[in-house]
């Protein structure tokens, strides 16, 4: 039934490559099928003005797409002079989600910026960014601990994200672009490793969706998140 031939609750092949580039404190290439995102974590001392003197840190995120990461070239936002609404919405979601992984007090007055740059898009770039961004964040935190800039690791829970949707009337897991552009409902779910919800955003694209659809989407999401968390854990266990 699915264009890709996958089962309704089947993830695309997921590959997480750490140390993808050499300069960043955390640098991850995440590949979810044909969706490929570079996620880097940068640590700097100090916090934004609104947090100064409060004895806590900050996590923020920025998101971008290479102009030709998509089927049709999108304008370079640096050239247009502003980020579009979709970009702003996505990077706010990534930042908010990853802050839920961290005890900002333990981070001290440091700021970590997660940059998520899509080099190839095939649906699910925002959830891939969160999943990959968490791994980059974890690497950066480990460096902070090793270098004794923080005393205890500020990570308090593991965060992963996935998209689900209603496609031809059926709840399905991990929409690729052909599904995403035809789904009746599109929902992004961010959860932690204890099964709690961090964020849930669902949108009816045509018809409104029902309680029943919602239950179905949450069920496949829960399965997918568990597999993704396992993949993150495995990646982080590699030397």
66 binds a copy of itself (CB under 8 A): yes
**Among 64, 142, 178, 236, contact with a copy of itself (rule: CB under 8 A):** 64
Residue 76 marked as a ligand binder? no
CA distances from 219 to 1, 86, 137, 225 (A): 19, 27, 28, 10
Give 165 or 237: the residue with its C-beta nearer to a copy of itself: 165
- Judged by beta carbon, residue 194 or residue 239, the one nearer a copy of itself is 194
Distance CA 51, CA 58 (A): 8
125: annotated binding-site residue? yes
Segment contacting a copy of itself (CB under 8 A): 3-11, 51-59, 146-154, 192-200?
192-200
Residues 117-146 binding a copy of itself (CB under 8 A) are 117, 119-121
Q: How far apart are CA 50 and CA 213, in angstroms?
A: 41
DSSP letters spanning 42-94: EEEES--GGGTTSS--EEEEEEEE-TTSSSSPPPPHHHHTS--HHHHHHHHHH
126 appears as a binding residue in the annotation: yes
For helices 211-237 and 125-146, give the axis angle rounded to 10 degrees: 40
- Binding residues for a copy of itself, rule: CB under 8 A, are 21-24, 27, 34, 36, 38, 40, 42, 44, 62, 64, 66-71, 73, 76-79, 81-83, 85-89, 91-92, 96, 100, 113, 115, 117, 119-121, 157, 191-192, 194, 196-204, 207-211, 214, 218
């Amino acid at each position: 039934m699915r264009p890709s031939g996958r089962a309704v609750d089947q993830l695309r092949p997921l590959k997480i490559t750490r140390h993808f580039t050499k300069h960043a404190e955390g640098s991850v290439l995440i590949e979810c099928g044909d969706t490929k995102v570079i996620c880097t974590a940068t640590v700097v001392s100090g916090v934004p003005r609104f947090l100064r003197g409060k004895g806590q840190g900050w996590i923020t995120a920025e998101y971008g797409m290479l102009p030709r990461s998509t089927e049709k070239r999108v304008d370079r936002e640096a050239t247009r002079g502003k980020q579009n609404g979709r970009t702003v919405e996505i990077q706010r979601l990534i930042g908010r989600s990853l802050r839920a992984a961290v005890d900002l007090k333990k981070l001290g007055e440091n700021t970590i910026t997660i940059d998520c740059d899509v080099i190839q898009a095939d649906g699910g770039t925002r959830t891939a960014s969160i999943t990959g961004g968490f791994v980059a964040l974890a690497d950066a935190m480990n460096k902070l601990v090793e270098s004794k800039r923080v005393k205890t690791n500020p990570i308090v829970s593991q965060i992963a994200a996935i998209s689900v949707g209603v496609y031809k009337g059926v709840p399905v897991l991990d929409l690729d672009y052909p599904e995403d552009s035809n789904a009746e409902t599109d929902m992004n779910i961010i959860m932690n490793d204890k099964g709690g919800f961090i964020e849930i955003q669902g949108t009816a694209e045509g018809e409104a969706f029902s309680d029943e659809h919602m239950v179905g989407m949450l069920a496949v999401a829960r399965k997918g998140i568990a597999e993704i968390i396992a993949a993150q854990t495995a990646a982080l266990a590699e030397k």
